[in-house]
Amino acid sequence: MFLEPHFKRSGWIEVICGSMFSGKTEELLRRLRRARIANQEVVIFKPALDDRYATDRVVSHDANSLKALPVKDAAELASLAGNYDVIGVDEAQFFGEDLVGVLQDLALKGRRVIVAGLDMDFRGKPFGPVPDLLAVAEYITKLHAICQQCGNLATHSFRLSANEETVELGAKEAYEARCRTCYHLGDALK
């Protein structure tokens, strides 16, 4: 006698984290493109405040991009997630703590959720919801940049300006990837 299985497709959360210039967005875009090749329905979200390269695209520092939906918060993301198979989220650190619950709900609904974000701010402290996402994710990828001072593996984002606000949008004009030692040497290396 054949028994019908009583399960539905399981979802999960993948987190891609690391410092500035480590390739987080590039890896997110790669995974989403592969899902599209597999004929999966894919959507990518970005925080509306991130308009560095484009307002309606996720763009890597290498200028690769995908069309994206800018959202103001996790609640708006949840309302637009629809029936997509794969949901990408870039710059997760700019969303509030409620992002964690929203993404867990999507995973429980059988969705593959892929998130990219900074794990530490420019002070070297845990950044936004990313640490909590790391705790609940099934898959974690930590990427490293190359220290722009000494060439070792970089794990920190060093801010070049004196601005003390936690959020300062910028790229190479505002930040430098640094290893632990060069990060702690700080402005002495400027």
Residue with tokens 């493109």: 33
Closest Cα partner for 90 from 122, 56, 121? 56
pLDDT score of 72: 96
pTM: 0.90
Tens of pLDDT, residue by residue over 37-88, are 999 999 999 999 887 777 787 777 676 778 899 999 999 999 999 899 999 9
Contact assessment for residue 130 and residue 117, using Cβ atoms and an 8 Å cutoff:
yes
Q: Which residues of 1-27 are buried (b: 16+ CB within 10 A; e: fewer)?
A: eeeeeeeeeebebbbbbbbbbbbbbbb
Partner residues linked to 176 by β-bridges: 158
**Which residues are CB-contacts of 185 (< 8 A; sequence separation ≥ 6)?**
149
Residues carrying an active site annotation: 91
Q: In this predicted structure, what is the pLDDT of residue 185? A: 94
Average pLDDT in the 126-144 region? 97
Q: Is the pLDDT of residue 128 over 60?
A: yes
Go through the domains of the chain in sequence order and give each one's CATH number: 12-143 (3.40.50.300)
